[in-house]
Amino acid sequence: MAAWSCSAPLAIGRGFVEAFNQLFHLRQLIKEHTVLAQQLSVSDDGDVSDISQELKSDVIDLVYRHSGIHLGDLTCQFVQTRLRRRLRAVEISSADDYIAFVDRNADEAQHLVNAFTTNETCFFRTKPLWTFLEETFFPELANRPAARMPSFWSAACSTGEEAYSLSMLSKHVFPVLPGNLRPRILATDISTEVLEKAAEGVYSGRNINRLKAVRPDVLDSCFEARDGAFEVAAEIRKPVQFARHNLMEKAPQQDAHDLVMLRNVLIYFSQDDQMKIVRNIVASMRSGGVLAIGESESLSFFDSGLDYVQPFVYRKP
């Protein structure tokens, strides 16, 4: 028999099958959209109304189990918007199925954590802290009699601005330590998404404008202009090592750090977990080391074992 040729009836037949398939696919899409919309109370015009309190608490539990982050005070809308994004990405239409999926899929648990973290940061954030580091603490480290390589930890580093600010400041304050020692900077975060951006070290827009306003001196000496953006210079990157770390777990190094920046992250945890995190951090610090926290954070509700130095700055005895 001759090879198949595309006769008119066959073409019509194929056209019919394709049209049927498309209709079927469309029906599936509509069905999934409807289930999702019902579960998440999303209206057809894309407006977001509140998810149920029950689903909100399930998601809050899920995020807590995988990060320790306490989302309790967040609005349903916030939870819903971020959850919707993940449901779409993994093409799961039921929130219950998604919750079960996260618990058996480490990659998706990481995506969920990435989606629920808040990563706001900037270079040299909170001027009085950087003045203290530049004028008091770094010179003290540079002048201590036994030369030892200083070690700093940016413990919730987000997209890297805090760690690179430490490196830029070190370049100015520690031009040459005995034996050419330069500070080492460990920079960690639970979000792999921000860590990728941090390691890239390329900044533009608002962050660079803010940097120009607070430290106009460093832009030329510590960055290289590239395609309308600014890339952190190799010399500034070199001392910084980025890694994933969950603050709810034991600190990666003990009795190691002269300075720990634990800024604008404690607010995301319950008081019990804040105590646990701070105790882990204190164990990672050398005696005489300094801990800096954020302006809206406090250690006054428990005995951290640290001495108060100035607002948001503490020292390990």
Ligand X SMILES: C[S@@+](CC[C@H](N)C(=O)[O-])C[C@H]1O[C@@H](n2cnc3c(N)ncnc32)[C@H](O)[C@@H]1O
Stretch that binds ligand X, among 133-141, 188-196, 252-260, 304-312 (CB under 6 A): 188-196
Strand, helix or coil at 244? strand
Within 115-144, which residues bind ligand X (CB under 6 A)? Answer: 117-121, 125
Reported for 109-112, long-range contacts at CB under 8 A and 24+ positions apart, including other chains, are 109/66, 110/66, 110/192, 111/86, 112/62, 112/63, 112/66, 112/86
Site string for ligand X, 212-251 (x = CB under 6 A): ----------------------------------xxx---
Q: Which is nearer to ligand X, 92 or 166 (CB)?
A: 166
* 189 catalytic per annotation: yes
Q: Which amino acid is at 230?
A: F
Neighbours of 142 (CB within 10 A): 18
CA distance 66 to 17: 46
Nearer to ligand X, 256 or 267 (CB): 267
Give the active site residue among 84, 182, 189, 237: 189
Query: Rounded to whole angstroms, what are the CA distances from 269 to 66, 68, 129, 147, 155?
Result: 13, 7, 23, 37, 14
H or E element in which residue 203 lies: strand 202-203
Q: Least distance (Å) from ligand X to the CB of residue 151?
A: 17
Q: Does 170 bind ligand X (CB under 6 A)?
A: no
User: CB under 6 A: which stretch of 43-51, 85-93, 235-243, 262-270 binds ligand X?
Assistant: 262-270
Q: Give 170's strand partners.
A: none
Stretch that binds ligand X, among 21-29, 46-54, 145-153, 259-267 (CB under 6 A): 259-267
Residues that bind ligand X (CB under 6 A): 67-69, 117-121, 125, 156, 158, 162, 189-191, 194, 246-248, 263-265, 268, 294
